[in-house]
Chains A and B, each alone.
Chain A
Amino acid sequence: MPSTFSYQFDTPSHKGITEFSTGLFINGEFVDGSENSTIDVINPATGKLITKISQGTPKDVDRAVAAAQHAFETSWGLKCPGAERAKLMNKLADLMEEHEDELAAVEALDNGKTFYWAKNADLKGAIDCIRYYAGWADKIQGKTIETNDGKLVYTRHEPLGVVGQIIPWNFPLLMLSWKIGPALATGNAIVLKPSEFTPLSALLTAKLAKEAGFPPGVFNVVNGYGATVGAAIAEHMDIEKVAFTGSTLVGRKIMEAAAKTNLKKVTLELGGKSPNIIFDDADLEAAVNWAAFGIFWNQGQTCCAGSRIFVHAKIYDEFLHLFTEKAKQVKVGDPFHPDSKQGPQVSNAQFDRIMSYIDSGKDEGATVHHGGVRVGDEGYFISPTIFTDTRPDMKIVKEEIFGPVGVVIKFDDDEDVIRQANDTVYGLACSVFSQNINRALETAHKLKAGTAWVNCANMLHASVPFGGFKQSGIGRELGDYTAVKAVHVNFGHQWSVA
């Protein structure tokens, strides 16, 4: 029998108890892994153990796939009408809303993000997403196609079957909802692997899914490491599709595994090095706020983080001054303290990785304009960091750091900044700031990215597609999966960092 995780929150933001199983969730039950081994789950704010969870193995993936296959063939998929799937999904969303604070607290504890953001971004976004896709469940339509008098041609949009979903640690619950929302709405059965760093909110959600009444096997959670469980999912002959959010490096491996096995469908939502272009005619104060949000939100652990900030020469000095002031205002500390705006990085490994990028920036001759240091001596806290005096070939300009580290780059030519912005293997997102809407739109259209934000940053909606150009990914999440580039034009939303 897997053990139960029981935790008493007694923080300024949240008080209350949470209790759920730390097992694998297979066929509607929490069970031990086949080897009875465990994985340590660490609190990134302290570096101390939170709990141990059951470790899954490839054998457990087999078990989960069999359960999912059975559910797909008997109680789910084409055997369960869309309106019924919608009902169960709405019920799950209701339960998540009912347990909003508890889920947010678990997320903050496990991931290190602040309780405030966990509740208002992750939880709210996740609940909206599940409800949005609940609405699609009874609207899966094919087409009838005119041929000639004697023929009828129509299409059916059928579920794929068993799908594997591998989610990251930066927005554990939100990414879970982005994956399971459309998969459940269309009638697929799921084997989900949460990140080994942040498995807790998925397990609590599994408990709620059981309560919501999903048939056993529709939604399975197999905790484990990428190299074992993730690989087993990617290689599995009975999984029809694998959806992955994470690094480009791992994304390639998953696609390779799919290519070598059953040619399963692959969607990948990968890394980015997204440009944020601030023209001289931007509303400077607003641009500064959005830029700070763009790079520092979620400790910079955001795939669409605006990590390359291009600023027009005419306003460069003033922007840098204001931007630095904003960075100074970002209070780094205990995720459960109401004043905290930034928590720790998710793990020791991520902390080391970010610090090594900061060192490389210094070694390669860039200037640490602000930050660049650890905060405190416990946990994985890093100060918001701004680099200047960079060159295009530096690692901190080329590679995804996935931390609160932005580079600010001066430009004075519109065409050239577009060239520089596009000079990357990535193409996830971009932002453009200008009060001249013609200049803003023209630039947004020329940037090679799946999402273009005009006078805003990091805005995501359940109804708007999201995904990458170039090496930032394959396929789209959210929305109805038909659009290619989402242009968000902001003409009213004022942003202010507290």
Chain B
Amino acid sequence: MSSHEQCYRSLASPAKPLSGTTSYSTQIPRKLPPRATITMSKFTQVNVPATGKTISVPTGLFINNEFVPSVDSQETIQCINPATEEPICSVVAGSAKDVDVAVAAARSALKTTWGKNVSGFERSRLLNKLADLIERDAQELAELEALNNGKPVKIARDFDIGDSVGCLRYYAGWADKIVGQSIDIDNKTKLAFTKHEPIGVCGQIIPWNYPIMMWAWKVAPALACGCTIVMKPSEFTPLTALKLSELVVEAGFPPGVVNTVPALGSVGGAALAAHPGVDKIAFTGSTVTGRKIMEAAAKSNLKKVSLELGGKSPQLIFESADIDQAANWAALGILYNTGQDCTAGSRVYVQDSIYDKFLQTLIEKAKALNIGNGFDEKSGGGPVVSKVQYDKIWSYIDAGKQEGAKCVLGGEKRPGKGYFVDPTIFTEIKPGMKIVKDEIFGPVLSVGRFKTEEEAINLANDTTYGLGAGLHSNDAGQCMRVSQALEAGTVWVNQYNLLYNNVPFGGKKQSGIGRELGSYALDEYTSVKAIQWNYGEKLDWPL
């Protein structure tokens, strides 16, 4: 039973503050002057060229609700604007020792002000408050996201941030609904019940493709369940996680509940994954890194692991489909977020009878997308995130050409600055080609063909991945058959790439372990304890 008798508790002890629901609540600065209480070891003014505005961004580590310098690292991470290739600013690159400090802060909060010491009602209140603050600052956060990641401001604001606010509110609603079961053993002597307790200190490592949204997906369920967090944002896009950390303080979370350590993956990520004081690690990123994290967990304290990894997701276009609509969804599938999407529908297989018509339509749709600077209102997509990613995508495009696929759209570099890659479509593909097997994480689509439903299913499932899959058909029986046969964590029928905060998301096969979103994500952040209670059975001894 919770130590927290919510409704009427304060009445039992009139000496306590009337509004205080728990003893700790007086320690939480509810309406603090945020910036005054934050010790700014480092703080920089970032210029937003398109608007002439500046955004103040903390550049230190965020530990115990304060921005602090590294214990021992002199290194910095330089953040680049991928649309211009110019530096934005630098932030501290945290070390393994910094991770130790952050983990200790998270442990201390778990034992004193968070975890089992705070009611779900209070966690809910704080999460809702955080959501309100992010909504308030949506424009500024969107501009910072656009600067660092490249995506259009309007998309960052209306989709990434809008969905993130929704995600925090959704899990705010779960915080006071974490329930176990009571289980009758027999009616006379014994009962058992389960408690779903917070798993503890969670390391969370998030990627650069949706920096704010992946932050929200990780933070919201963890906090709802009462976990504390050491967050490592991607070294390519650490700025919005630091900016969000300011809002964590303003919302009134106790110190140490959320900590942010910007660091290189090989340093901070590795330290978190191997840390004996971290109870759980949640990672979104590449399958290569996911394996390393799981290995580190296996070799250290067997921490719980959830992984949301790569994909090579297929979309099947059957002859009964609405071709125009299917082409729209296929274009969205591969081009949204400039293809930097773990669920990107990067393999499209089209039934022979409609192949030519569909391909023609799809090419027109792909051409219609305007990829440009994220601060340009006309842009529907931005540059890819980094030079590394840009080079990787181009090496795949080159490989596609070399291996004999036919490039029917794109495939030519733009002159000038910025990591822009235009929509690229390959046809005449073969199963062994790199562009068909590997995750490219760019706007590069492979289009193949099939004759029968069975062949389509075999092609779709011929991959080590299993994150998403789409099918387009107006035959209800076929929709049902194929959706059941596809090996993926999410199957979209006559749509693609749409996610909802209340629908679980995650990978089958080598696309991941565990689920995010929905009520399923709560399982990733709780430990189930079975309490077995004897109130009547006498034990005879010896047996």
Chain A positions within 8 Å of B, measured between CB atoms, are: 82-83, 86-87, 90, 116-117, 119-121, 124-125, 128, 131-132, 134-139, 141, 149-150, 152, 437-438, 441-442, 445, 456, 458-463, 480, 483, 487-496, 498
- B533 contacts the other chain (Cβ, under 8 Å)? yes
Residues of A within 8 A of B519 (CB): 139, 141
- Contact A120 B480, beta carbon cutoff 8 Å: no
A437 to B10, CA, bound (A): 25
A438 to B189, CA, bound (A): 9
- Contact B535 A438, beta carbon cutoff 8 Å: yes
Residues of B within 8 A of A493 (CB): 5, 9, 12
- Contact A128 B480, beta carbon cutoff 8 Å: no
Top 8 nearest A-B pairs (CB, nearest first) are: A135-B173, A438-B535, A441-B535, A125-B7, A120-B11, A460-B7, A495-B12, A498-B14
- B530 contacts the other chain (Cβ, under 8 Å)? no
- Contact B8 A458, beta carbon cutoff 8 Å: yes
A131 to B533, CA, bound (A): 33
Q: List 8 A-B contacts (CB under 8 A).
A: A119-B18, A120-B8, A121-B7, A131-B125, A131-B176, A132-B121, A136-B177, A494-B12
Closest-CB distance, B380 to chain A (whole angstroms): 26
- Contact A86 B533, beta carbon cutoff 8 Å: no
Residues of A within 8 A of B177 (CB): 132, 135-136, 139, 463, 480
A35 to B173, CA, bound (A): 43
Residues of B within 8 A of A437 (CB): 535
Residues of B within 8 A of A494 (CB): 12
Contacts A134-B173, A135-B174, A152-B480 known; A459 to B8 CB distance under 8 Å? yes
- Contact B6 A83, beta carbon cutoff 8 Å: no
Contacts A131-B121, A131-B125, A491-B1 known; A139 to B174 CB distance under 8 Å? yes
A86 to B534, CA, bound (A): 41
A-B interface pairs (CB < 8 A), number: 111
Q: Which of B164-172, B233-241, B266-274, B508-516 contacts A (4 or more CB under 8 A)?
A: B164-172
With an 8 Å Cβ cutoff, the count of chain B residues facing the other chain is 43
A461 to B8, CA, bound (A): 8
- Contact B121 A128, beta carbon cutoff 8 Å: yes
Query: Which listed residue, A124, A149, A152, A489, touches B1 by the CB 8 Å rule?
Result: A489
Query: Which listed residue, B6, B172, B191, touches A441 by the CB 8 Å rule?
Result: B191
Contacts A491-B1, A492-B3 known; A137 to B8 CB distance under 8 Å? no
- B501 contacts the other chain (Cβ, under 8 Å)? yes
- Contact A137 B480, beta carbon cutoff 8 Å: no
Residues of A within 8 A of B170 (CB): 83, 138-139
Query: Which listed residue, A120, A442, A491, touches B18 by the CB 8 Å rule?
Result: A120
Closest-CB distance, B19 to chain A (whole angstroms): 8
A136 to B177, CA, bound (A): 9
A124 to B11, CA, bound (A): 11
- B468 contacts the other chain (Cβ, under 8 Å)? no
- Contact A138 B502, beta carbon cutoff 8 Å: yes
Interface bits B154-172 vs A (CB < 8 Å: 1, else 0): 0000000000001001101
- B13 contacts the other chain (Cβ, under 8 Å)? yes
- Contact B173 A125, beta carbon cutoff 8 Å: no
Within 8 A of A (CB), among B117-140: 120-121, 124-125, 128
A460 to B170, CA, bound (A): 24
Query: Which listed residue, A139, A152, A489, A498, touches B173 by the CB 8 Å rule?
Result: A139
Smallest CB-CB separation from B128: which chain A residue? A90
Closest-CB distance, A136 to chain B (whole angstroms): 7
- Contact B7 A461, beta carbon cutoff 8 Å: yes
- B484 contacts the other chain (Cβ, under 8 Å)? yes
- Contact A150 B8, beta carbon cutoff 8 Å: no
- Contact A462 B3, beta carbon cutoff 8 Å: no
Query: Which listed residue, B169, B484, B536, touches A442 by the CB 8 Å rule?
Result: B536
